[in-house]
Structure 1
Amino acid sequence: MSFRSALLVAGFALAALNLRPAIAGLSPLLDEIMDDVGLSPAGGGAITTVMVVCLGVFGPLTPMLARRFGLDRTLLAGLLVIAAGLALRGLDGAPVLYLGSALAATAIAVMNVSMPGIVKQHFPDRINLMTGVYVSCVVAGAAAASALVVPIEHTTGYGWRGVSALLAVPALLAALLWLPQALRGRPGGQNGPRPFGAVLRSRVTWYVTALMGLQSLTFYVMLAWLPTIYLEAGLAADQAGYLLSLTNLVQVGTSLAVPVLAGRRASQVPYVIGAGVLTVFGYLGVLLAPTTLPWLWMIVLGIGQGASFALALLIIALRPADPAGVTALSAVAQSVGYVIAALGPLLFGYLRQVSGSWTVPLTVGLGVVGVQLVAGWFAGRPGTLIRSAP
């Protein structure tokens, strides 16, 4: 591998690592942030809500930006805006806290949509491998941020504001590595996405969007409520946290391996179905016997959910004929998908409240995975969206 190729891969991987720390690194510090800024629990929760809403709302900006500036320069701008948002939210006052969080999430939304197009554009012969690298780096970045922000705070003594500023450093480093590629990239033309109209008229788009949204919903439900489920089942708080960490850790390896295998076949249906079935078994384990071999349920759930996420992004990269089409499909699937996903934790919390147990919510979750399997069956079949017009 030449130095130029190595720099491209390193910049791409480090950019992917920056797609979740701004969100995942917030939760462990949230109590401290609320005390310092003077926020109520509702106000503290609204920070994450604002960021998730931005992920869904601002993703559709990406085709316009990529058409005007090119995918490479759009990605570079996203990294710089993430760094600016993280630095801003560490300043004094609630308004800048929300503004900085929204700014970082908007940049993440644009980068989420850009990355599958980057894969198609720069790695057309290694889509399966580089999708695996991309997804595993996203998952690893989230896991690292959630695990390390508190130890970093204690070690440095900087407080949550300083830690927030430190999270901007990897984004700036990724921008530095990506800068040569952005300077070489063309400001539009073949880098620009095709119009939304052609994508919206395709059935494939809606199958992929349903797969993306439903697998994200089941993931965010578990991310939000799994520790609570285990606490109510009788486990200690530290054990509940370790179980959540275990399922997230399993997803890192799964996200790297599954696209490499699935990308070698014209049809991804067997892998999508296998991932959905494993997710079903994970949900069933948590529903029927949460404290019996809980580590096993977490491993099964991690494999199923990690594979589902990776496969959804792999299919986004594979189905269109060119990078422009990938960006357009990614904009629709991820924007609508994150809106669907944002409803999951809220809905499950409401069902828990009105039913008095986790039986009804988890049963509904099984139904959601069933619909996900149907969507995955159609999304995973061989097929190509039409090539976008020059």
Structure 2
Amino acid sequence: MSLRSVLLVAGFALAALNLRPAIAGVSPLLDEIMNDAGLTPAGGGAITTVMVVCLGVFGPLTPLLARRFGLDRTLLAGLVVIAAGVSLRGLDGALVLYLGSALAAIAIAVMNVSMPGIVKHHFPTRVNLMTGVYVSMVVGGAAISSAVVIPLEHVTGYGWRGVSALLAVPALLAALLWLPQALRRQERAPNGPRPFGTVLRSRVTWYVTALMGLQSLTFYVMLAWLPTIFLEAGLPADQAGYLLSLTNLVQVGTSLAVPVLAGRRASQVPYVVGAGLLTVAGYLGVLLLPTTLPWFWMVVLGIGQGASFALALLIIALRPADPATVTALSAVAQSVGYVIAAFGPLLFGFLRQLSGGWTVPLLTGLGVLVVQIVAGWFAGRPATLGKATL
């Protein structure tokens, strides 16, 4: 393998690793952040809410940036802006905390949408393998950051502000590795049809968008409420936290393997349905038997959710005929999807408050999963979106 190929793969993988730490690294430090910044619990929760909303709202900027500057330079700019955002929120004051978080999330939104197009452009014959690498690095980045921020705080003695600023280091390293790709001559965009027109007219787009949005909703619901559900079922706090970590770690291996297998077939329907049914089984275990073999339900849930996320992104990369249309489909599916997902934890919290327990929220989650499986059935069928130019 040539040095250029090594830098390409390493830069791509490290860029993907930076797509979640700015978000996942907030939760373990949240109590300290609220106390230091004088925030209420609602104000503390708003940090993550603002970031997830930004993931949805700013994704549509990506095709415009990619058309003007190229996908490689757009990705490089995203890495630099992530570094700036996490550094900014470490400064004093609640306002810069929110501004820095929003800035980092905007960059992540652009990179989220860019990555499937990068896969299609740089690895056209290895879409399934590189999608697996991409998704596993995303999931791994979330798991690693949530696990290391507290130990880093203790080892360095920097406090949450210093640890937040340290998250800029891997982003800057990824930018350095990706720099050779961005410096290469970018293809000029010829005049021609815009990919959004092709994408928005296709029913495939809306099946994929529904799959992306609903699987994201069920993931963020569990991320937000799973420890609380286990606590109220009678498990100790440390065990509840370990169980959430377990389901996140299981997703790393699943998200690497599933795209490699599913990408070899013209239809991804069996995999999408299977992943949805495993997630249903995990939800049912949490609902009916939360204190009986809870680790088993977390493994099942992790396999189902990791596979669902990986498959949604794989389908985004496979269905369009060229990188420009991949980017447009990614913009629609991820932008609408993350807006849908942002309301999931709020809805579950509201249903918990109204019903006084977790039965109604979890039954609602099961209903959402049924719709997700139906959407995945249609999204997973062989289809090709028309060719368009960047």
Tell me which interval the TM-score lies in, with the shorter structure as reference length.
Answer: over 0.9
**Matched residue of 1:189: which SS?**
coil
Aligned residue for 1:22? 22
Deviations 1:325-355 (A, max 9, x none): 0000000000000001011000011111101
Aligned residue for 1:186? 186
Aligned CA distance change for structure 1 residues 190 and 36 (closer, same or farther; 3 Å): farther
Q: TM-score, structure 1 length as denominator?
A: 0.98
Aligned residue for 1:176? 176
Contact 1:320–1:387 (8 Å) recurs in 2: yes
Partner amino acid, structure 2, of 1:101: S
Q: CA deviation at 1:44?
A: 1.0
Q: CA deviation at 1:193?
A: 9.6
Q: CA deviation at 1:13?
A: 0.2
User: 5 Å matches for 1:283-302?
Assistant: 283-302=283-302
Q: In structure 2, how many angstroms separate the alpha carbons of the residues matched to 1:386 and 1:81?
A: 33
Q: CA deviation at 1:2?
A: 1.2
**Matched residue of 2:343: which SS?**
helix
**Residue 279 in structure 1 maps to residue 264 in structure 2:** no
Worse-matched range after superposition: 81-90 or 35-44: 35-44
Partner amino acid, structure 1, of 2:298: M
Aligned residue for 2:133? 133
Partner amino acid, structure 2, of 1:92: D
Deviations 1:160-215 (A, max 9, x none): 11101100000000000000000114164279994322211100000000000000
User: 5 Å matches for 1:1-390?
Assistant: 1-186=1-186, 188-189=188-189, 194-389=194-389
Q: TM-score, structure 2 length as denominator?
A: 0.98
Contact 1:192–1:324 (8 Å) recurs in 2: no
Worse-matched range after superposition: 128-137 or 189-198: 189-198
Partner amino acid, structure 1, of 2:103: L
Q: In structure 1, how many angstroms separate the alpha carbons of the residues matched to 2:111 and 2:333?
A: 14
Q: In structure 2, how many angstroms separate the alpha carbons of the residues matched to 1:39 and 1:190?
A: 50
Partner amino acid, structure 1, of 2:68: R
Q: In structure 1, how many angstroms separate the alpha carbons of the residues matched to 2:224 and 2:46?
A: 14
Q: In structure 2, how many angstroms separate the alpha carbons of the residues matched to 1:37 and 1:287?
A: 36
Unaligned runs of 5+ in 2: none
Aligned CA distance change for structure 1 residues 135 and 164 (closer, same or farther; 3 Å): same
Q: CA deviation at 1:41?
A: 1.2
**Matched residue of 1:19: which SS?**
coil
Q: CA deviation at 1:48?
A: 1.0
Unaligned runs of 5+ in 1: none
Contact 1:66–1:192 (8 Å) recurs in 2: no
Partner amino acid, structure 1, of 2:385: L
Contact 1:52–1:105 (8 Å) recurs in 2: yes
Contact 2:193–2:389 (8 Å) recurs in 1: no
Q: In structure 2, how many angstroms separate the alpha carbons of the residues matched to 1:122 and 1:326?
A: 13
Q: How many percent identity over aligned positions? A: 86
Worse-matched range after superposition: 258-267 or 29-38: 29-38
Q: CA deviation at 1:31?
A: 0.8
Q: In structure 1, how many angstroms separate the alpha carbons of the residues matched to 2:192 and 2:131?
A: 20
Q: In structure 2, how many angstroms separate the alpha carbons of the residues matched to 1:11 and 1:257?
A: 21
Q: In structure 2, how many angstroms separate the alpha carbons of the residues matched to 1:191 and 1:107?
A: 27
Q: In structure 1, how many angstroms separate the alpha carbons of the residues matched to 2:37 and 2:188?
A: 43
Q: CA deviation at 1:90?
A: 0.5
Contact 2:189–2:389 (8 Å) recurs in 1: no
Contact 1:282–1:301 (8 Å) recurs in 2: yes
Q: In structure 2, how many angstroms separate the alpha carbons of the residues matched to 1:146 and 1:162?
A: 15
**Matched residue of 2:363: which SS?**
helix
| Runs of 4+ displaced beyond 3 Å | 190-195
Q: CA deviation at 1:389?
A: 4.5
Contact 1:205–1:333 (8 Å) recurs in 2: yes
Q: CA deviation at 1:35?
A: 1.0
Aligned CA distance change for structure 1 residues 366 and 185 (closer, same or farther; 3 Å): farther
Partner amino acid, structure 1, of 2:148: L
How many residues were matched structurally?
Answer: 390
Q: CA deviation at 1:371?
A: 0.3
CA RMSD of aligned residues (A): 1.3
Contact 1:11–1:178 (8 Å) recurs in 2: yes
Contact 1:194–1:328 (8 Å) recurs in 2: no
Q: In structure 2, how many angstroms separate the alpha carbons of the residues matched to 1:345 and 1:317?
A: 28
Contact 2:192–2:389 (8 Å) recurs in 1: no
Contact 1:283–1:366 (8 Å) recurs in 2: yes
Q: In structure 1, how many angstroms separate the alpha carbons of the residues matched to 2:161 and 2:145?
A: 15
Q: In structure 2, how many angstroms separate the alpha carbons of the residues matched to 1:171 and 1:219?
A: 25
Contact 1:193–1:324 (8 Å) recurs in 2: no
**Matched residue of 1:320: which SS?**
coil
Deviations 1:74-105 (A, max 9, x none): 00000000000011111111111111100000
Contact 2:196–2:325 (8 Å) recurs in 1: no
Deviations 1:80-134 (A, max 9, x none): 0000001111111111111110000000000000000000000000000000000
Q: In structure 2, how many angstroms separate the alpha carbons of the residues matched to 1:343 and 1:297?
A: 25
